[in-house]
Amino acid sequence: MNFIKPILFSAIAATVLTSCGGGAKVLSTPIENIDSIPLKVAPLTETQKHTWGHLDLIQDTIPGMSVDKAYTDIIKNNKGKTVIVAVIDSGIDIEHEDLDDVIWTNEKEIPNNGIDDDKNGYVDDIHGWNFLGDTYDEQLEYVRLLATGDETNPDYANAKKEYDGEYAKYLNYKTQYDQLLQQLKGADELISANLKKSDYNLADVESINAGDNEDLTTAVAIAKYILGLGFEDVNAAKKDLNNGLESISDHLNYNLNIKFKGRKTGDNPDDLTDVGYGNGNVMPVKDSESHGTHVAGIIAAERNNGLGVNGVANNVKIMSVRAVPNGDEYDKDVALAIRYAVDNGAQVINGSFGKYYSPHSDWVRDAIAYASKHDVLFINAAGNEGQDLDVKNCFPNDQLDNGPEVGDTFVTVGALEPKYGPEMVAGFSNYGKINVDVFAPGAAIYSTVPGSDKYDTKGGTSMASPAVAGVAALIRSQYPKLSAAQVKQVLMNSGLPVSIDVVVGGDPSNEKPFADLSKSTKMVNAYNALILASTLK
């Protein structure tokens, strides 16, 4: 399942690196200086909101990855070697103005001739492959389990308990959103008429003197409550509430619908040898299928072209592998997608998806091991439930029950907020001293979405993962002789360490040392990573 969840819901309810000698000197900020930086109290500017993941902790007091500093001080005009990054996700708008020049093309394939020219098993896979066919909406994995009716399955009882709780919770969400939208609609008519404008904010509402007008007094109270949830203005509130209601309805109608059958590819998802399904159309099937496009932009949106956003990496070709629906992905699709990416030249894979039930997790781990064996990095989103992954299994992963890892190129990423200090870890982010490797910017990230010139802000570990994938691609581009395993260790060893306690799971009463939330104890830093990479054999 795409690792994004509507944020408003909660408001309403040691491997040693080989260096060239003497140990690598990383020019990271000394820990004593990091922890003495004055906390940023001024709101982010619009520019900072759109670029915070690229900013520098020292210069901007924002826990970005120092990407802009890396380009200014280290990369300069050196483009490096082109790196292919496979994005296993929903469809990608390969015609977007900020992506059209960074899309991978299979030069061995002749477009639209209905022939598998390169004999790789996929016909007309010009820009990647679509394992979903026309499918988009899907059930969650534990709902599929319940749909089998197999009560002898050891996971059945837990799945039933989780389903009952989740279904009731989302029905309640739907009721709340319906009520809020109806209340806001009525209040909006009165307030717009009073203010003589339709784009008012909380301050405008607070300026209204309703006098003895009881209807207007009620409208003001409703608007104050809703805008007080943190919306910039009433139009932002309408948009978020409507998007939230659509997401909730989709969750109930598709993800949690035991009778729903979404798969349209005609294959058997429980048979890994039943291949040849899908097609070469990697575009989204509808505008709301925006996740893959957003992820791709974070990694590689064309830099300094005067449009929208800058990706982290400056010399990347994005291979689109459509395998993640609006619901839980099938293990078979993920396993084959990983192998497709590896076999067709990807050096980095980004996987911004995940789930907590995985009937064929061994197929995916075998594919992860295959990627590692073939010198490919797999950057993985940690998940958005505020869970300790050392206690709760989340898939995909490169081990089971904290056992041995199947490779040394799998990197799991937690998400940061744009505020340095005790609240720097995103409240939704999963964590784990054993099973999360690093943290990176993931909350409120601005990037590309479907539509030739459209952009939007999204948050989740889904956004933190491609940030790290971009840094990994940057390292592989600038220092192409480094192995994938070396690049992983550069990412982990070069980040900024933080010694303070931070809030985890969004619970102010639950504070832990930041160093206890990941294996590396660090947040990724592109500037430091390139310096460390430059010292390695």
Cβ partners under 8 Å of residue 517, min gap 6? 414, 425, 431, 432, 433, 436, 439, 502, 504
The whole-angstrom separation of Cα 300 and Cα 415 is 19
Q: Identify the CATH number of the domain defined by range 80-138+279-481+499-520.
A: 3.40.50.200
The dihedral region occupied by 402, where left means phi > 0, alpha psi between -120 and 50, and beta the remainder, is left
| Domain definitions of the chain by residue range | 80-138+279-481+499-520, 156-255
Q: Helices 234-250 & 214-227, crossing angle to 10 degrees?
A: 70
From first to last of the 537 residues of the chain, give the pLDDT tens digit: 665 443 344 444 433 333 333 344 454 444 445 556 566 667 899 999 999 999 999 888 899 999 999 999 999 999 899 999 999 999 999 999 999 999 999 999 999 999 999 999 999 999 999 999 999 999 999 999 999 999 999 999 999 999 999 999 999 999 999 999 999 999 999 999 999 999 999 999 999 999 999 999 999 999 999 999 889 999 999 999 998 999 999 999 999 999 999 999 999 999 999 999 999 999 999 988 999 999 999 999 999 999 999 999 999 999 999 999 999 999 999 999 999 999 999 999 999 999 999 999 999 999 999 999 999 999 999 999 999 999 999 999 999 999 999 999 999 999 999 999 899 999 999 999 999 999 999 999 999 999 999 999 999 999 999 999 999 999 999 999 999 999 999 999 999 998 889 999 999 999 999 999 999 999 999 999 999 999 997
Inter-CA distances, 361 with 144, 164, 400, 537, Å: 15, 25, 9, 35
3 state SS of 429: coil
